[in-house]
């Protein structure tokens, strides 16, 4: 059994006339955080003036974006090893199996690279459009594409083989399943936490503006088209809980990955030729408890199957590096709810504190933040820690820990 949610997005012209601006963090905004780290005996950077800081944060931004590019290389490598749309060769689900004892790609892996490179220009699907755009941004000449792909696949496979040796277990399998960034279990944990906050009176009575940081995009494997579940899941939850009015709510998805932003901005073009389908595989709910299973079964009930245009039109996307950048907007246009799950764990404590500083400035007074990672909340005085809630989605207690913060 496979459930699907049909999403037919349309862009409302009124949502395009925005007054917000994405900008880099200022020294006076982050200085209290640096001071808090220094007071705690943790080394923090110092700057002689704002210009020196501006150079530093732009370099930091370049470093963060470099990690995104490395992640895209990993996603492309997983697609090379497990994709089925461009070849009938056997999949290599365990990436470490793509290299031999000498550290070279195996014959099967090399054959899959050859087929993939040939398919880059032949495949008329979004994943390959993303690959083409990535190669363009990296300025890889046509004659060097094969060598480039061999290089990134080899690096990826060696890293996975090293992981296997270090942890005495098999490396992660890349078989086209649902990614953690967009998983339904996280959506269930968010909805449960929102319901708990509502019962405690700890959340704004009416939510109009929602931000989703790092909405995620299922890319590796090509059993189904790329999809981004979380913006739609958050929209469904706030409507189900009566926290938002359908005609008022707006969701802005912020991501540093150009492929994610491009995917979300292309939604109107997608639906002109068909429907945008969210695949919700039955195996994703295997072993879930009754509450989580009901969440999976009723996903899309309120926003429609297909999603009604007035709901789908409420979602927009912008590129933003949450570590170094914030969204500057009038106080009345701050977000009442911001969701940042499966994102902040990729950063060190200082970077997380910088991200929280940017997040605080994006929130309305009393605005709520939901995350699922330990956060240095003591370093950002603008945010109040409301606690952590464990949400189980199996009967044996497996689940997610949702951390809640509130803008003072």
| pLDDT beyond 70 at 140 | yes
Query: Can you give the pLDDT at residue 300?
Result: 87
Chain centroid to Cα 18, Å, comes to: 23
| pLDDT beyond 60 at 5 | no
Q: Which residue has the higher pLDDT, 264 or 1?
A: 264
Q: Which residue has the higher pLDDT, 62 or 6?
A: 62
Query: Can you give the pLDDT at residue 271?
Result: 57
Query: Can you give the pLDDT at residue 332?
Result: 81
What is the pTM for the complete model shown? Answer: 0.85
User: Taking the CA atoms of the chain, what radius of gyration do you get in angstroms?
Assistant: 22
Check if the beta carbon of residue 99 is closer than 8 Å to that of residue 157.
yes
Count Cα neighbours of 26 within 13 Å in the Cβ-side half-sphere: 6
Which percentage of the chain shows pLDDT scores above 70?
85
Question: Which residues 6+ apart lie within 8 Å of 345 measured at CB?
Answer: 373
**Separation between Cα atoms, residue 306 and residue 277, nearest integer Å:** 9
Cα separations in angstroms, 57 against 27, 29, 52, 72, 223: 9, 13, 9, 23, 40
Could you report the per-residue pLDDT of 65-118, keeping only the tens digit for each?
Answer: 998 899 899 999 999 999 999 999 999 989 999 999 999 999 999 999 999 999
pLDDT, the chain, mean: 86
| pLDDT beyond 50 at 13 | no
Check if the beta carbon of residue 70 is closer than 8 Å to that of residue 63.
no
Question: Which domains occur in the chain, in start order?
Answer: 2-25+177-407 (3.40.50.150), 84-167 (no CATH)
Check if the beta carbon of residue 212 is closer than 8 Å to that of residue 253.
yes
| pLDDT beyond 70 at 280 | yes
Question: Which residues 6+ apart lie within 8 Å of 114 measured at CB?
Answer: 146
Query: Can you give the pLDDT at residue 171?
Result: 43
Q: Which residue has the higher pLDDT, 280 or 400?
A: 400
| pLDDT beyond 50 at 16 | no
Supply 59's token pair: 């370099």
Tell me which DSSP letter residue 346 carries.
G
**Separation between Cα atoms, residue 391 and residue 370, nearest integer Å:** 13
| pLDDT beyond 50 at 178 | no
| pLDDT beyond 80 at 337 | yes
Query: Can you give the pLDDT at residue 223?
Result: 74
Residue 401's H or E segment, with its range, is strand 399-407
| pLDDT beyond 70 at 17 | no
Query: Can you give the pLDDT at residue 230?
Result: 92
The torsion angles phi and psi of 318, rounded to 5 degrees, stand at: -140, 150
Could you report the per-residue pLDDT of 214-238, keeping only the tens digit for each?
Answer: 998 877 668 777 888 899 999 999 9
Supply 117's token pair: 């490179």
- DSSP output for 6-25: EE-----HHHH----EEEEP
Q: Which residue has the higher pLDDT, 179 or 190?
A: 190
Tell me which DSSP letter residue 143 carries.
G
């Amino acid at each position: 059994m496979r459930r699907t949610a049909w999403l037919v997005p349309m862009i409302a012209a009124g949502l395009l006339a925005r007054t917000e601006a994405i900008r880099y963090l200022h020294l006076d905004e982050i200085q209290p955080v640096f001071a808090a780290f220094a007071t705690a005996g943790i080394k923090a950077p110092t700057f002689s003036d704002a210009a020196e800081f501006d150079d530093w944060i732009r370099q930091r931004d370049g470093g963060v974006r470099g990690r995104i590019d490395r992640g895209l290389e990993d996603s492309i490598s997983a697609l090379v090893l497990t994709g089925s749309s461009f070849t009938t060769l056997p999949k290599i689900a365990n990436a470490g199996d793509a290299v031999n004892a000498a550290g070279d790609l195996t014959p099967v892996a090399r054959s899959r690279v050859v087929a993939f490179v040939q398919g880059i220009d032949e495949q008329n699907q979004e994943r390959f459009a993303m690959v083409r755009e990535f190669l363009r941004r990296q300025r890889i000449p046509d004659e060097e594409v094969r060598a480039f792909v061999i290089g990134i696949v080899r690096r990826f496979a060696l890293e996975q083989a090293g992981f296997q040796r270090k942890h005495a277990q098999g490396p992660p399998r890349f078989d086209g399943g649902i990614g953690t960034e967009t998983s339904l279990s996280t959506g269930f944990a968010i909805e449960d936490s929102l319901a708990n906050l509502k019962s405690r009176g700890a959340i704004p009575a009416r939510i109009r503006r929602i931000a989703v940081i790092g909405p995620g995009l299922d890319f590796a494997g090509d059993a189904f088209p790329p999809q981004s579940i979380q913006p739609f899941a958050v929209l469904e939850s706030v409507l189900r809980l009566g926290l938002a009015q359908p005609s008022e709510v707006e969701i802005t998805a912020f991501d540093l990955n150009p492929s994610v932003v491009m995917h979300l901005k292309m939604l109107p073009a997608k639906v002109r030729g068909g429907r945008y389908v969210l695949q919700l595989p039955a195996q994703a709910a295997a072993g879930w408890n009754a509450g989580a299973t009901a969440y999976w079964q009723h996903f899309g009930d309120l926003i429609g199957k297909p999603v009604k245009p007035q709901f789908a039109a409420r979602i927009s996307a912008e590129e933003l590096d949450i570590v170094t950048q914030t969204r500057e907007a009038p106080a009345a246009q701050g977000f009442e709810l911001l969701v940042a799950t499966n994102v902040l764990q990729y950063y060190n404590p200082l970077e997380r504190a910088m991200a929280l500083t940017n997040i605080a400035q994006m929130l309305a007074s009393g605005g709520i933040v939901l995350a699922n990672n330990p956060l240095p909340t003591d370093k950002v005085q603008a945010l109040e820690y409301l606690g952590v809630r464990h949400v189980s989605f199996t009967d044996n207690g497996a689940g997610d820990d949702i951390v809640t913060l509130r803008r003072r």
